[in-house]
Chain A
């Protein structure tokens, strides 16, 4: 029952996060910006549309969007959102968490390759290269948190009582900084990717879904919003100590997630995106930062 409520929360709240990012960017640029709930209208619009599917594609082409929406939902079940325990929690669930997203990435890139388009192949190559470089940062972070929290599960990482900030603040800051970079890279935000660009040759994530339309593209859009929500919730969960009372924790974690959205908006307003050849350098930096966190807690 609580799992169902959590799924609903992620489903319903995630497009708002996109609205918050867009609104932040608009305000920073001196524009009024699109409505806060635009992402909901976009998804609703896509679900009402028909699809154009290339004759060269196979069932793999539609598997991508299907997996893209299921995976973030499954992953969100491993997060204890305002609860002492996640709906799905076991020792080592972090590995399932990471590789669920890897599975989704595999299916998205396979769907992209299925179209036989030169762009989509290029996008798939970029996506996989950068994802491989982002993975160590996540795992170094998990390693450090496992040492701090004494458990190897997302539930134990996200339900710490606040004492971790006293005992291992330096390591936590490093992990959070590193994960924020991973969040930006994994969710195709500036400076790694540009979610607003129409220039197919510079895209990473967007170019892989160019051939999807209608409901399939709606799934991708919604799945991407949920993935962003899950990553934000993960970071917020590590930062915020839990009080044990859902009445305090739920608003705190939701507020925290939206605040991360504002921070993403600020980052996107203040800098240009990286030259593509520089992306690996920043991702390796993120891994090194998280690696330092491990050194700090093992000391």
Chain B
């Protein structure tokens, strides 16, 4: 990342006019240089409509410099040169831009709708789409067969369509079609913030309530010039890690369940509930709704509840350690986990995986470490990695993070600063942009807020970690066994609604 970008720290606002506006070709070259030579990854790439023209804004994240680079360009026609061929991690972002604004990324190798909604811009060149009705990659041949799964599944899970090209039990190719959960959150936020905005954040991806709401709160605080008190930062950290604990334990249990290993499956299901109940103890909601608000948090923790929380946290963590340790001690489980669903580290970097899935491939990226925010500026959590990129690595990273998170929460409960928990958050500054990132339990949550002349959002871009990672699941299946798909899927455990928004 170089001088062509406007460099900002996490949740540091800027005037929109200060973001360099480049020619299309210069914009393209700058983003490619940042990704290919400077080791940055694309945190967000999106369009917005301004004065009847389409503007593209790229946010590249430099993990080493802890800086977010902003850059933009204005399209002159209805198309632009696609980045995807040279920078595969842009592929889904470009498909999204094409769908939202009815423009064409020329040279995109597989341009398809993402969420199957009508373009936001009038007139609507593409017309309306029906979810799932699109071209799918096909392998031809007498011995090749196609298996289509979903969107309605045998279990109670979110809808998504998976299409496998198989040779017997072996998978040649998997294509994933989502969009069934599209609710139009981004479009609905524009014009805000209103009273409803925070609730949309809380339900953008229900299992990452704290992650998304925190990113939103940080963005508004940055734009409104508010500085939340230290105690609020600590409580937000506790809530974020409790969310991680509950989901990681739940995932490890579900992984055990998928290989029919009952003991861990049964115990972890219960322990996940214990962690969720800790969140409920914190704010009355098992998923942390109603806790994080711009300016701080809505609930303080009194001394009596601190000791209750500590006690229950210790019990749950002790149980979790016993239950999860069984996994690593059972050879039949290891046989299933190891070398299943491998994503190699080159592919991981190329397609821009984030979060647990990236750390399982040996990439030490973690927003808490690389772009510290809130409490993580003062308390540092080590980045947990594994190196094989298989189901076992993804499970093991969860197991390591689970232990660090439990230690973190215990420490924070002991050392809560004595300050108020909330300050007033002023109205957002006009004509500004801010990038706010948090490390949700799946990985990097990136929110970009842009305000207009009156301080209202003209564009609010949400990027859930699932948006980066779904393609990783497709790659993990290549050459694998179709019967291992559920296990691989669970090891990523990506969000459908976080992707579909």
Q: Interface of A with B (CB < 8 Å)?
A: 25, 28-31, 118-119, 121-122, 125, 190-191, 194, 196-202, 210, 268-278
Contacts and interface: CB of A to CB of B under 8 A. Distances in A.
B259 A273 contact: yes
B169 A30 contact: no
Nearest to B171: A201
A27 B160 CA distance: 35
A282 to B, nearest CB: 11
Nearest to A196: B260
A99 to B, nearest CB: 27
B330 interface: yes
Contacts of B263: 28-29, 269-270
B163 to A, nearest CB: 10
10 contacts: A28-B263, A119-B149, A121-B145, A198-B154, A199-B154, A201-B486, A202-B485, A272-B330, A272-B336, A277-B169
A268 B486 contact: no
Nearest to B255: A272
Interface string B238-278: 00000000000000000010111111011100000000000
B481 A276 contact: yes
A266 to B, nearest CB: 11
Contact of B260 (A125, A194, A278): A194
- Among B146, B169, B263, B332: residue with most chain A CB under 10 A: B332
A196 B154 CA distance: 12
B482 interface: yes
Given A200-B154, A210-B154, A273 B260 contact: yes
Contact of B262 (A119, A122, A269, A275): A269
A289 B483 CA distance: 28
A275 B481 contact: yes
A118 B145 contact: yes
B319 to A, nearest CB: 10
A191 B145 CA distance: 27
Given A31-B266, A200-B154, A118 B258 contact: no
B147 A271 contact: no
A121 B145 CA distance: 10
A202 B487 CA distance: 9
B258 A199 contact: yes
Contacts of B379: none
B155 interface: yes
A181 to B, nearest CB: 14
A276 B486 contact: no
B22 interface: no
Given A199-B258, A271-B332, A276 B266 contact: no
Contacts of A30: 266-267
B330 A271 contact: yes
A30 B330 CA distance: 18
A220 B176 CA distance: 33
A272 B328 CA distance: 12
- How big is the B interface, by class? 20 to 34
A32 to B, nearest CB: 11
Given A29-B266, A199-B154, A276-B169, 11 more contacts: A119-B149, A122-B169, A122-B482, A198-B154, A198-B155, A202-B258, A202-B483, A202-B487, A272-B261, A272-B336, A275-B336
The 6 A-B pairs at the shortest CB distance, nearest first, are namely A29-B266, A198-B155, A199-B486, A272-B259, A194-B260, A272-B261
Is the contact region of chain A dominated by helix, strand, or loop, or is it mixed? loop
B26 interface: no
Contacts of A272: 256, 259-261, 330, 332-333, 335-336
B138 to A, nearest CB: 14
Nearest to A275: B336
Interface in B371-424: none
B416 to A, nearest CB: 34
Contact of A200 (B149, B258, B259, B481): B149
A119 B262 CA distance: 25
Contacts of A277: 169, 481
B155 A201 contact: no
A182 B381 CA distance: 51
Interface in B456-486: 481-486
B153 interface: yes
A119 B147 CA distance: 7
A28 B363 CA distance: 39
B332 A191 contact: yes
Nearest to B487: A202
A269 B154 CA distance: 23
Nearest to A189: B260
A118 B150 CA distance: 12
A194 B486 CA distance: 13
A275 B331 CA distance: 12
B53 interface: no
Contacts of B65: none
Given A31-B266, A198-B154, A202-B483, A275 B260 contact: no
Nearest to A25: B262
B144 interface: no
Contacts of B266: 29-31
A197 B145 contact: no
Contacts of A125: 168
Nearest to B156: A198
B260 A197 contact: yes
Contacts of A270: 263, 330
B486 A275 contact: no
Contacts of A276: 169, 481, 483-484
Contacts of A278: 335
Contacts of B482: 122, 201
Contacts of A200: 149, 153-154
Contact of A275 (B153, B168, B484): B484
Contacts of B335: 272, 274-275, 278
